[in-house]
Homo-oligomer: A and B are copies of this chain.
């Protein structure tokens, strides 16, 4: 059996995570038992939700246990199989974790999925045609209930979720306005992703200033918003939100390190009769097939051109993850493991 390299959570961060929270360990991959499949991971996905799991406190999921492999989505190939539905050489997707090889119990429903890499590069199954894409789809359809002619916004617009959101919103005939950090990302959001406008939040010192920029970019107000960040961005959007507007809360990355992140004007929820709803996409598996079908088509036809930032080798994962939390990535953050 091949030797495996694994990154475990060694200790929990106090404030911002550092590379020393993680530890790289080596282990032999075990012999498979019936129903198991050994997967060689090609790509590991790094995602903001992982930051929440690093804390011990209340969250929507169990905390990441110490001294166990960090949770994470992967795509790769079957290198050994004791399950009749999987054979060596097939391309598969799973929650393989921060490691080079994963032993997956393929009998568990949804634990190991075949992916069709004929039309699109396999890395997209961790981004636009994976969890981030479906996240955008669910928020836009089921919470925001986007309709043609309406204006919708999204924070972290250049990221994996934001880029899928933009393509989906355009497909529905919406005006879509992004919020991102820095001119390069904003240019990409408009020129490559096809958003109608993108606002650089770094140019604004407070939410009042940011909301003035939003007013210009959204002359008819904001009907729906997808929140990945929280804090100043959400406050600014709420000031421009129309009556009966709907906000999907998917991330509050600005508050993941435990810093206070108050909402400045909750009275706007009443004044504008807003609906604000938090969600995690893994609790809505029923939408995945429809969402993935649409997202596959958008990528295959070139209507969605998701950008990727790829770190090389498992050992690079902690620094890449820390960079992601600071917004240093550009598009979907991946680690190439082969």
Chain B residues, CB < 8 A from A234: 266
- Among B52, B59, B260, B271, the residue within 8 A (CB) of A278 is B271
Chain B CB within 8 A of A189 CB: no
Chain B residues, CB < 8 A from A263: 262-263, 266
Whether the pair B264, A260 counts as a contact (CB closer than 8 A) is yes
Q: For chain A residues 219-252, which have a beta carbon within 8 Å of chain B?
A: 230, 234, 243, 249-252
**How many copies of this chain?**
2
Chain B CB within 8 A of A107 CB: no
- Among B60, B264, B283, the residue within 8 A (CB) of A270 is B60
Whether the pair B267, A274 counts as a contact (CB closer than 8 A) is no
**Chain A: number of interface residues, binned into ranges:** 20 to 34
Given the known inter-chain contacts A262-B263, A262-B264, please indicate yes or no for A58 contacting B251, CB distance below 8 A.
Answer: no
Task: Give 18 A-B pairs besides A230-B266, A263-B266, A269-B276 with Cβ atoms closer than 8 angstroms.
Answer: A52-B271, A60-B243, A60-B270, A234-B266, A249-B270, A250-B270, A252-B266, A252-B269, A255-B266, A255-B267, A261-B266, A261-B267, A262-B263, A263-B263, A269-B277, A273-B277, A275-B276, A276-B276
Which A residues form the contact surface with B (CB < 8 A)?
52, 58-60, 230, 234, 243, 249-252, 255, 260-267, 269-280, 283
